[in-house]
Amino acid sequence: MTQLTFARAINAGLRKSLENDSKVVLLGEDIGALGGVFRVTDGLQKDFGTHRVVDTPLAESAIVGTAVGLAYRGYRPVVEIQFDGFIYPAFDQIVSQVAKLHYRTRGAVRMPITIRVPFGGGIGSPEHHSESPEAYFTHTSGLRVVTVANPQDAYTVIQQAIGCDDPVLYFEPKRRYHDKGEVDESVDPRSALPMDKARVLTDGSDVTLVAYGPLVKTALDAASAAADEGISIEVIDLRSLSPVDYEPVVASVRKTGRLVVTHEAAQSGGLGAEVAASITERCFYHLEAAPVRVTGFDIPYPYSKLEMHHLPGLDRILDGVDRALGRPNSLSGLEG
Amino acid sequence: MSTDETGPGGAQTPEIAGNPGGTGPDLLQLITPSGERISHPEFDFWVRDITDDQLCSLFEDMTVIRRIDVEATALQRQGELALWPPLLGQEAAQIGSGRALRADDFVFSSYRENGVAYCRGVDLTDLLRVWRGNASGGWDPYGINMATPQIIIGAQTLHATGYAMGIQNDGADAVAVTYFGDGATSEGDVNEAMVFAASFQAPVVFFCTNNHWAISEPVRLQSHIQLADRATGFGIPNLRVDGNDVLAVMAATRLALDRARRGGGPTFIEAVSYRMGPHTTADDPTRYRDANELEDWAAKDPISRLAGLLDRKGILTADLQEQVKAKADAVASEMRRGCTTMPEPQPMDVFKHVYSTPNSWLERQQDHYARYLASFGDPAGAVSEKGAR
Ligand SMILES: Cc1ncc(C[n+]2csc(CCOP(=O)(O)OP(=O)(O)O)c2C)c(N)n1
């Protein structure tokens, strides 16, 4: 076991994948000498060469589009998109090509492409640097979308994503890049919890709190604050956003009768809506209250001085928990 | 793919043919690095009206924007700005082109053209709003005929082309000018903008500042040929100019503007310069850049070059230098004052301007958030990481 930051853990996972499979190639802007703007690929080009760790020209559509060609040729490209807001120039290649080629070729062509995207806010960046675009991709069939919430998962899941024969969007919670955690580098990704499984992090009886990526830490903090008030919260880290692993959520809600979902992305059309609807379908008779969403607002990501208003914090999550429990809350007395 | 540097069949990878960063003899120059004015049969015409006084004024402009750049960098280091993209070394490219524009021309730039914004008459407090994290856009684009800075690399080139198509439809003789970097030329948007500009012969000037680096990536990674030559493939005439020579930049820009005004369509200008500072205040160029390269370029510094010319002409007096310095200091301290006294945005501002007409979904969220904030005695508690309960 070693203490690693998120960023180092992903770096270690990439290194393992490069070592284990000569077909793994990394592509992206500034990923070579600079080691990426977040240093996630630090040292990899030096050790694996410029043909395996490719510093590309500044062109996202080309980065993903050439990854498609490499995949046709039997490679397993791992693409770095520098920041969430810069994935859109590549959007067409991702949703029209990467996502659909397996289906379109009736399974003849595999697209084992991993697209790494630092996502989310909270680091005081200018516009286009703090977005949560996951719903665009969970809405697209043929893609797998995962995110990680601790360094161990960061290390293991990146390897699982690279090993997966389907295209995977791997969202990295950038405000947690410097957080440290225990990482067991001897874990075999093939026997670890698969990347498409959710994980129950705390045992609780009053409310089920579903989170993913950067908000898992906030959700855990909220759960311990709630415990001080005598409220028992079961926190679930979704991990896979597409497909969502509903079994543990269903089991939890059957027990607690209450669901709160939180994410940084805007509310309308967001993943929280999907989870709330699916759980309502599956657990209608077990629910004691309507599912509650605690999310970013339906606004463009705001300038940095106000981002903490947009991002769900511990108190907003607790307020949502109060709503689910019917305790006094900021909306008490309001109808609908 | 093998891990060494050899290509298929073990052959050495061929040397890159062109020299996209080169500063060879084809480069349009009117002032040598040592400050000597050299004549040019074609381009002297475009700066024939520039008097000594105007040269002094260009010197002042360049000094002022370097000064505000240094001040903004200091403000960032002091925690007053979240980020700053320095223009150090690119003063001639920005002032030479910026001062060539007419008030009714319209600029679509990247985040680094703060010197151009200065030429457009931007209020320097407005310039800093975005970098301080207090606003999404610092100014009303129609107030200074300049769009707010673009962060998505290259997107603005399409906007400029569309604006130019509008000018053309209106039968006006204004020009849209778009600024972007060497790295941007790799983006699809920039290439598509050139297709449209050429197809419709739109009155747009593509001003590419080749500062040699796109964060850590050298220009030779973006192109095997000189960037100016890319335009040729789209049927757009190009000019390759010494970007550290304010007169040469001005001459080239004036030619391009004149061509556009007279229905001659787009022009691509490559201003060959150098980014002497980091990419932004968050960047560490020592990880990828050789110190010697910086030294070579320091010898071509755009401000000392113009100073050299003024000196040769005998007009670089102590008085002038004093005057210019005083102006630069005054502008910088005014900017600092504007920055540190800027009012803080209010929490409910996050909901403003999402739509031009009310939207019921958002109104509901806004109402809920107002109630939420009101449930705290001190609204600051509502956003603390540790929580207020
Ligand atoms: C679409 C997009 N991709 C990536 C980035 C991240 N990024 C910001 S600046 C930059 C380099 C730009 O280089 P260049 O075009 O040469 O302009 P310069 O900054 O050197 O003036 C990159 C990759 C971005 N802002 N937009």
CB B241 within 8 A of CB B131: no
The tokens describing B314, both together, are 């005998």
Q: Could you tell me the pTM of the whole model? A: 0.95
The rounded Å distance from CA B279 to ligand 1 centre is 9
Rounded Cα distance, A142 and A168, in Å: 9
> Which residue from A124, A303, A331 is facing B135, i.e. has the nearest CB?
A303
Which of B5, B221, B386 comes nearest A57 by C-beta?
A: B221
Predicted local distance difference test score (pLDDT) of residue B6: 41
pLDDT at B4: 42
Residue A7: which residues within 8 A CB-CB, separation 6 or more?
A38, A39, A40, A177, A178
Residues of chain A with pLDDT under 70: 336
Question: What is the residue whose two structure tokens read 């604050």?
Answer: A225
B298 lines ligand 1 (CB under 6 A): no
Of B13, B8, B12, B21, nearest to B224 by C-alpha is: B21
Residue type at position A167 = P
CA proximity to A219, closest of A201, A241, A199, A198: A201
- In the DSSP assignment, the letter for residue B350 is G
Cα dihedral across residues B155, B159, B162, B168: positive or negative: negative
CA B85 to ligand 1: nearest atom: 19
ipTM > 0.85, yes or no = yes
- Cis-peptide, bond into residue B358, ω within 30° of zero: no
Instruction: Give percent above pLDDT 70 in chain A.
Output: 100
* A129 classed as catalytic: yes
In the block, which residue shows the tokens 């993913």? A212
Residue A58 in contact with partner chain B when CB distance is under 8 A: yes
pLDDT at residue number B50: 98
User: Which amino acid type is present at position B237?
Assistant: P
A window 126-165, beta carbon within 8 A of B: 126-129
pLDDT along chain B (389 residues), means of 10: 41 55 86 96 97 98 98 98 98 98 98 98 96 94 97 98 98 98 98 98 98 98 96 97 98 98 98 98 95 94 98 97 98 98 96 95 96 85 73
Query: Inter-chain contact B215–A29, Cβ cutoff 8 Å?
Result: yes
Residues 6+ apart with CB under 8 A from A164: A112, A114, A144, A195
What's residue B3's pLDDT? 41
What is the predicted pLDDT for the residue at A290? 97
Show the CA angle centred on residue B38, arms to residues B37 and B39, nearest 5°.
Answer: 120
pLDDT at residue B1 in the model? 39
pLDDT tens for each residue of A190-248: 999 999 999 999 999 999 999 999 999 999 999 999 999 999 999 999 999 999 999 99
**Whole-angstrom distance, CA of residue B40 vs CA of residue B30:** 7
Task: Give the Cα separation of A171 and A241 in Å (integer).
Answer: 10
pLDDT at B381: 66
Q: Dump pLDDT digits (tens) for A284-298.
A: 999 999 999 999 999
Residues 6+ apart with CB under 8 A from B322: none
